[in-house]
Amino acid sequence: LKGISLLSLEFGTLSEENLALKNALVNAQRSIHMLQLRLNIDPSLTDSEVPQNAEKMCQTEDAEQPALNLELGASGQIRAQDEENNNIRKRYDQETAAALQKNMYQLIEAKIELKKLAADIRDVAHKELRCIRKSFETKVSCYVGSLVQRYLREVDARKRLHNKLVELSGNIRVFCRIRPAASESSEKLCVHIDPFDNSLITVDMANGERKKFNCDRAFSEKHTQADVNLLFC
């Protein structure tokens, strides 16, 4: 039993040594791999060609590994945040573009409606202006016609009074007839009859003056001798 116990203790010691050697070998391989990645060392080189400060660099690499992991994690979070911000900005831009497009369509429809309204207003305005113009012309024509009729009535009344005055003073009347111009002559008429009062004549003098004369009745160059005789018959 004593021998078995000693043998068991020796085997236990060997097992612990093997485990320690195995862990050391794994750590060494990991350190060499990290050095190869860090220093870009060719894997075909021997152990004697590895720098003497490899162990120190492995320790430094092991110390820097948590910080590197933290940096990678932070950079990943930053990238995720940037992607989220980009997605939010993209959605906002899409919503803004959709709203602007909707507003543009509304403005186009409003523009079309305004054009139609302007055309309708123009047509109505032209129609109203035509009606107003026609009504104004009718009123002016009626007013001018009434003024002419009143003037003619006043002329007739004045003639009647004048005739009575002439009869009382001796029954003398003065008539004037404008001689028609000769057919081959190009001279202009120098005597003109008032279109509203056939008893008023205007004579253009040789010196450029114009004189007016009153008579009982003036006949233009278009009247014939028969028209003159008809007045006295």
Name the more confident of 147 and 188: 147
Name the more confident of 74 and 224: 224
Name the more confident of 159 and 52: 159
CA distance 52 to 41: 14
- What pLDDT, on the 0 to 100 scale, is given for residue 1? 39
Domain count, the chain: 2
- What pLDDT, on the 0 to 100 scale, is given for residue 29? 75
- What pLDDT, on the 0 to 100 scale, is given for residue 22? 72
Which domain, by its residues, includes 200?
175-230
- What pLDDT, on the 0 to 100 scale, is given for residue 132? 92
The end-to-end CA distance of the chain, in Å, is 191
Same domain, 186 and 212: yes
Distances (CA, A) of 57 to 33, 149, 188, 224, 230: 12, 131, 133, 145, 150
Any domain includes 141:
yes
Do the beta carbons of residue 58 and residue 35 sit within 8 Å? yes
For the chain, the 3-state helix, strand and coil shares in percent, each to the nearest 5, are: 70, 10, 20
Reading the block at residue 22, the tokens are 């195995």
Q: Is 179 exposed, middle or buried (0-12, 13-18, 19+ CB in 10 A)?
A: exposed
Any domain includes 33:
no
Q: What is the pLDDT of residues 112-135, one digit of tens each?
A: 999 999 999 999 999 999 999 999
Any domain includes 140:
yes
Q: What's the chain's average pLDDT?
A: 75
Same domain, 182 and 226: yes
Same domain, 179 and 166: no
CA distance 125 to 8: 123
- What pLDDT, on the 0 to 100 scale, is given for residue 129? 92
Q: What is the pLDDT of residues 162-218, one digit of tens each?
A: 778 877 766 777 888 888 776 665 667 788 888 888 888 888 888 888 899 988 888
Q: Which of 51-55, 65-69, 85-89, 180-184 has the highest mean pLDDT?
A: 85-89
- What pLDDT, on the 0 to 100 scale, is given for residue 131? 92
Any domain includes 55:
no
Same domain, 135 and 204: no
- Among 171, 191, 219, which residue terminates a domain? 171
pTM: 0.32
For residue 175, give every residue at least 6 positions away whose Cβ sits within 8 Å of its Cβ, in sequence order, or none: 215, 216, 217, 218, 219, 228, 231
- What pLDDT, on the 0 to 100 scale, is given for residue 87? 85
Same domain, 99 and 145: yes
Q: Is 164 exposed, middle or buried (0-12, 13-18, 19+ CB in 10 A)?
A: exposed
- What pLDDT, on the 0 to 100 scale, is given for residue 3? 40
